[in-house]
Amino acid sequence: MAIAGLAALVAIAIVATILLTGNSNKSSSTAAGTTGTAATTTGATGAAGPVEVGFAGVVPNALLKYCTNAAPSAGAAATVDCNPPANADGQYYPNSWTMSLYATDAALHTAYNAVRTAANVGTNYGQCNGISWGGEGTWAHGPGKPGGSRLCYFDGNVAVVAWTHEKYGQPSHINLLGIARSDGSDHSDLFNWYRFWHHRVGKCDAVNCVAKLS
């Protein structure tokens, strides 16, 4: 009787061990699969952030709200014409400015050089700042962070600045050409406006964002 009872207890223990081991292995396998899926999803989300399309994705609304769609400039995918508000409350704006987006580096460079050639501006000379106005060169976001090219000149009594904000292979950037004009030879205020905005147009700001034409 005692032996039979002991055998029954041993059998029960063996069955329980098998069941527990099987459930434990199943739980571990499920947990690993869930963790792997979550890691992959997180990675995909991190690698591909929000997609920003067109001008609205790369030009702050504080500037874009004064612009309207226009026929695309030669070689451009899209162009906007912009004018200052009727009541600027003492804030400076150029008399007009345009911005164009380009699908390729080559198209952007062709458009920029067309502006430069038409204005009879050379390359790699002079200054574009509040003191000196007349020249062409490159600009950078900071050391080792190229931004694009810029040129400035006088068209009669109108100060003009043109610049590119280039993609340079960065998903958050887009190829953009901006041109702004200020009457009355007001190159000092035009320079200050350009200095503020040329860093801010041509790229999206959200983490891991991707800028696209359409």
pLDDT of residue 207 exceeding 50: yes
Is residue 149 domain-shared with residue 85, that is, in the same domain? yes
Whole-number Å distance between alpha carbons of 45 and 209: 11
Domain count, the chain: 2
Is residue 181 domain-shared with residue 103, that is, in the same domain? yes
Is residue 71 domain-shared with residue 106, that is, in the same domain? yes
Is residue 42 domain-shared with residue 84, that is, in the same domain? no
What six digits make up the tokens of 98?
Answer: 């345009």
Is residue 102 domain-shared with residue 159, that is, in the same domain? yes
Whole-number Å distance between alpha carbons of 172 and 24: 46
Is residue 68 domain-shared with residue 140, that is, in the same domain? yes
Is residue 112 domain-shared with residue 30, that is, in the same domain? no
Place of tokens 């106005």: 133
pLDDT of residue 21 exceeding 80: no
- Residue 88 is predicted with a pLDDT of 85
What six digits make up the tokens of 105?
Answer: 């580096």
Is residue 36 domain-shared with residue 63, that is, in the same domain? no
What digits encode the pLDDT tens for the residues 174-193?
A: 999 999 999 999 999 999 99
Mean pLDDT along residues 94-122:
98
CA angle 28–29–31, rounded 5-degree value: 65
Is residue 42 domain-shared with residue 20, that is, in the same domain? yes
Is residue 97 domain-shared with residue 173, that is, in the same domain? yes
Whole-number Å distance between alpha carbons of 206 and 51: 9
Eight-state DSSP code of residue 130: S
* pLDDT: which is higher, 60 or 11: 60
pLDDT of residue 73 exceeding 60: yes
The type of residue at 128 is: C
pLDDT of residue 43 exceeding 90: no
CATH number for the domain that contains residue 133: 3.40.1000
- Residue 6 is predicted with a pLDDT of 39
Is residue 5 domain-shared with residue 97, that is, in the same domain? no
Eight-state DSSP code of residue 12: H
Kindly report whether the global pTM for this prediction surpasses the value 0.85: no
The model's confidence at residue 47, banded by pLDDT at 50, 70 and 90, is: low
What digits encode the pLDDT tens for the residues 80-98?
A: 999 999 998 889 999 999 9
What digits encode the pLDDT tens for the residues 193-204?
A: 999 999 999 999
Domain end, chosen from 10, 31, 47, is at 47
pLDDT of residue 37 exceeding 50: no
What six digits make up the tokens of 78?
Answer: 């899209």
- Residue 50 is predicted with a pLDDT of 95
Give DSSP secondary structure letters for 140-205: EEETTEEEEEEEEEEETTEEEEEEEE--TT-TTB-EEEEEEEEGGG-HHHHHHHHHHHTTTSSB--
Backbone φ/ψ region at 150: left (φ over 0), alpha (ψ -120 to 50), beta? beta
Please name the residue ranges forming H helices in 2-52.
Answer: 2-47
Rounded to the nearest integer, the mean pLDDT of the chain is 83
pLDDT of residue 11 exceeding 80: no
Is residue 15 domain-shared with residue 120, that is, in the same domain? no
* Segments forming the whole domain that contains residue 9: 1-47
